[in-house]
Structure formats: C-alpha cells, structure tokens
Chain A
Amino acid sequence: MSIAEIQEELIDEFSLFDDWMDKYEHLIGLGKSLPLIDPALKTDDRIIKGCQSKVWLHAAMENDKLIFTADSDAIITKGIIAVLVRVFSGQSPEEIVKANTDFIDQIGLKEHLSPTRANGLVSMIKQMKLYAIAFQAQLKK
C-alpha cells in the first residue's frame, strides 16, 4: 500500500470511535502491538531529543525500502510511533520525504502535533524524514 492509502486506512479506522477514550484505547493497543526494536539498538544515540518520554528510533534499508523500528517508555507515545511506523515503514525514501502528515489531525490526535508539547512527535517525524533523506542520498550514489 502507498503512504496515502495507509493514511486513509488509519483515518477510517479511527473514525469508528466517537469518544476520545475509545480513540486512545485503540492508540494504546496499536502501541502494544508495535514490533519491538532490537534491545541492542536501544542506545542513547538513538534517543530522539525533545521528548518527556524516551523514544528510540532505528532505520535500516531492505530492498530499497526503509524499515523503521522504534520503542518508547510511555505507552501513548508508543501508540503514536506505531501509527507513524505503520505509515512510513516499508516505503521508499523518496515517498517518505514527500509525504505530508495532515492525517494526524484527521485521526484526532492533533494535540500531539503541537511543537510545544513535550512528546517529541514533531521531532519523531523530522527524524524519520532525515533518515529518508540520508538513505536517498546513498541510493543515488
């Protein structure tokens, strides 16, 4: 599926819940099912700065696609990462660089996108895009 298709799917999925509590329970559930990052990769240099909770993010290339794995010590943050990993992992660096992230607003998690909120969602997206840019440069070589 393309990034846009996955985003549509997430919007549909979250639209099933009217209540914020159900939305958050779904988000937390997604966090719990996040494929875990290899514990050996949970090193300080993989921590994303700007989060009250710790977030580790790792990226690797497989057949020209970027594979993200991540973790957090806070479960809501982990849910948000799970959403992002689902959207971006397995896509080409080029698509990731181009992608917009308006869907976060549409699934009702906009408050987490505020740069002043200390959860680092914005830094997380930035870091994923930076990885994509770096791998894109590598592919071109």
Chain B
Amino acid sequence: MAFNVTQIREDFPILKREVNGKPLVYLDNAATSQKPKQVIDSIVDYYSLYNSNIHRGVHTLSQEATDAYEASRKKIQKHFNISRSHEVIFTSGTTHGINLVANGFTSFLKEGDEVLVSAMEHHSNIVPWQMLCERSGAVMKVIPMSEEGTLLLDEYDQLLSDRTKLVFVNHISNSLGTINPVDIIIEKAHQVGAAVLVDGAQSCSHIKPDLQALDVDFYVTSAHKMCGPTGIGMLYGKESWLQKLPPYQGGGEMIAEVTFEKTTFADLPHKFEAGTPNIAGGIAFGTAIDYLNEIGFNAIAGHEQELLTYATEELLKVPGLKIYGTGREKTSVISFNLEDIHPYDVGTILDKLGIAVRTGHHCTQPIMDFYKIPGTVRASFAFYNTKEEVDILVEGVRKAQMMLS
C-alpha cells in the first residue's frame, strides 16, 4: 500500500480541530501521539460490548475480555520479536516498567557495584536508579555525550568493568532525537556480565525493534507514544531475569496460593501484574500495533526522515536558530532555540498560531545543564504530519522571532 498522508490524517479525528482559531498543527508527538479512530473504537467497543474482569470469570464476557487482552499480549510479542509471550509484562507505562526492574534489583546489588546511565536520559530513567543506589549502596556513573548529542562510546568502554552490574540507556533521546547504538552498548555490557535495560519510550513510534536480535535484558515502552492509549505499556524481560526478580506489587492476579502464613506467587507474567489491569488500554495497545504495522514501519520512517530533513533545512534558514542534537542517526525530533529568546516565549506565540510544541527541559535537566540553557523548543513529527505543517512551523518561528526580539 502506498503511503498517503492525506488519507492517513483522515484516521485521526483530533487533527480536524482548530486551536485559537487556527487549524491545529500538532508537533508534540514525542510527548504523546494522537490516536486513530481504530484505537478509539476499540476502547469504545470494549466498554460497550464486553467489559468485564479478566482471568477470573467463568462467564462469557469475562472469557471474551480475557481473550482480547491476551491476544494483545501476543501481538506485542510478535511485533517486538519476543520468544515467549510470558516475557511480555503489561505495565502502566515506561516509568512503571523501570521502577519494577529497579525495585527488583535491590537485593542483587551490593556496596561497590556500579550502574551506568547515559547523559541523555529522561528523569524516569534516572530517578528510580538513584533510589536503587541509595537502597543498595551501588554507585551510578554517567556515560558522557558529545556536543552533537551522541554518546561517547570510548568513554563507555572505559567505564565498563567487572563492577558494572547494570546499564540503562534510552533507545532514542526524547530531547535530542539521537538514536543510540544500543546493539553495541548491549554487547559490550554483556562482555562484563552486566544487564541492560533499554528505555524504548521514544523508539517504538519510529522503528520496530527486534528484541531477540538485540539480546537486550529488559525493554520498556509506553503505548501512548505509539498511537495507543495512556496508562498502558509493556516491560519485556528475559525469562531468566523475570524468574529471578521479586514481585513489585502484591495483590490479586499475582498469586498462586495465599494463606496468612505464606503466599506463593503466580507464574509469569502474572507475578508482575497485580490487581485488575487497564483492560481496555491493553486491548487498544494491540489495536495500535496493528494500525502501525498496517501502515508499515518502513513507510513511517521514510516519511518522517523526509520531514526531518526538510524541517531541519528550513529551520536553519532562520537567523540565530540553533538546533540541539545534530548526530547523524536521529529521528524526527528537533530541539532548538532562537538566540536571546526564551523558549517559553516562542512556545506561547506558536500556541497562538495553533502550533503545539513543547518547551522547557523535557524531563531531561542534565541535558539542559550540559548545554547551559534553561530549555528548548521541541518540535517532534509523526508520520501524520506534513510538509505544509513544517512550513507553518517555520513561518510561526519567524513571526515569534520578529515579535520577541
């Protein structure tokens, strides 16, 4: 099927909206993506037709809901090329997945052990590990990055040692768009016996990771970044790790047998899925994956790279505009500032023009400290954005510059 952006936009009801009297130009896709009607319908269908609790009922509705939910797990398994479906754990999102793993590692680390984090992580992939270090006495070290916003792999080599127990890094940076060489990072970590968690919050809307080929130990993502609903995500863990990790939360669903003396835990994946989950969200997550695959990740990447190249060229024509994150391997995220103008001001004017961008530190304060800036304006493009929208953005930026300087 040929890629037709006009037709694709028809799937997204929200793109017909106006904001401040102007047609919405939604360029905040790295914060969350918009939802196609297929995904919205699957949520409505669930609540209208077969809402009921899963994994426990004998009645028909419960069976239908359980089947749909578990079918979604299988879709995720297939999509990410995961070998066993019980290695897919439903979470509420990336943050939840990271906390689950960080919590589980408490008893595996001891004083003097080291964990490595990259210089370009989201706070979600820093804070839970800092808490882990506090609990366990392990030390956190930082893999530095270059001025272009790419990780310094030579420095990474220097940091790795037999003290290294864990490495956590994002696949793609939400502030810079940099695609990190996670395959190399994983291979080298494994050479010293360290486990690797990859934060895939930003990658899964742009690429289709093959988790078996990557040989990653843990991979986390959020459905809402990839056309699915909020409040649902997945944690992939290698079976051997998930067997070893203790449960994160106790409750219903996750038990085999409970007496007041002792509880035995359920098998994977239920051991990590305490309580009634986000059933509608889980089902719609599967619908979102189907939707993206129907368009095809090659087509998505092709269109987005075209937008990235065009937007980069056009934005750089604006005098005094500086882009942060200029590595060769990057996705359709452009973080920038106008000379002597605060990003908040630019964002405010763009909003008046119907253009949604994000301004601020994007939950990556260490990156802003690195560049010694208060924040950036971030335009992030999805496959449903158009070149015309890039033109509107660039014109808006010029207008903002005129008004603000």
Which residues does A use to contact B, with CB under 8 Å? Answer: 20-21, 24-25, 28, 52-54, 73-77, 118-119
Contacts and interface: CB of A to CB of B under 8 A. Distances in A.
A72 to B, nearest CB: 8
A54 B399 CA distance: 23
Interface of B: 20, 341-345, 348-349, 352, 359-360, 374-375, 399, 403-404
B344 A52 contact: yes
Give chain B's interface secondary structure class.
Answer: helix
B352 A119 contact: no
A77 B344 contact: yes
B403 A74 contact: no
A104 to B, nearest CB: 15
The 3 A-B pairs of least Cβ separation, nearest first, read A74-B342, A74-B344, A53-B344
Nearest to A24: B403
B403 A119 contact: no
A54 B374 contact: yes
Contact of B404 (A53, A73, A75): A75
B342 A25 contact: no
A25 B402 CA distance: 10
Contacts of A77: 342, 344-345
Nearest to A118: B360
B345 A75 contact: yes
Contacts of A73: 342, 374
Nearest to B399: A21
Given A28-B403, A75-B341, A119-B348, 10 more contacts: A20-B352, A21-B399, A28-B404, A52-B344, A52-B360, A53-B342, A54-B374, A74-B344, A75-B342, A75-B404
5 contacts: A25-B403, A52-B360, A76-B345, A77-B344, A118-B360
A54 B375 CA distance: 12
Nearest to A111: B351
A28 B403 CA distance: 8
Contacts of A118: 344, 360
A52 to B, nearest CB: 5
Contacts of A52: 343-344, 359-360, 375
A21 B403 contact: yes
B344 A24 contact: no
Q: Pick the most buried of B343, B348, B349, B399: most chain A CB atoms within 10 A of its CB.
A: B348
Nearest to B375: A52
B352 A53 contact: no
A43 B48 CA distance: 57
B352 to A, nearest CB: 6
A75 B404 CA distance: 7
Q: Pick the most buried of A20, A25, A53, A54: most chain B CB atoms within 10 A of its CB.
A: A53
A1 B339 CA distance: 39
A134 to B, nearest CB: 29
Given A21-B403, A73-B342, A53 B349 contact: no
A28 B405 CA distance: 10
A76 to B, nearest CB: 5
Contacts of B360: 52, 118
Nearest to A117: B348
A18 B20 CA distance: 14
B230 to A, nearest CB: 17
A25 B352 CA distance: 13
B355 to A, nearest CB: 14
A24 B352 contact: yes
Contacts of B359: 52
Contacts of A119: 344, 348
Q: Pick the most buried of B342, B343, B374, B404: most chain A CB atoms within 10 A of its CB.
A: B342
B361 to A, nearest CB: 9
A117 to B, nearest CB: 9
B289 to A, nearest CB: 32
A21 B344 CA distance: 16
Nearest to A72: B342
Contacts of A76: 344-345, 348-349, 404
B274 to A, nearest CB: 32
A73 B343 CA distance: 10
Contacts of B352: 20-21, 24
Nearest to A25: B403
Nearest to A20: B352
Contacts of B348: 76, 119
Nearest to B351: A111
A57 B359 CA distance: 23
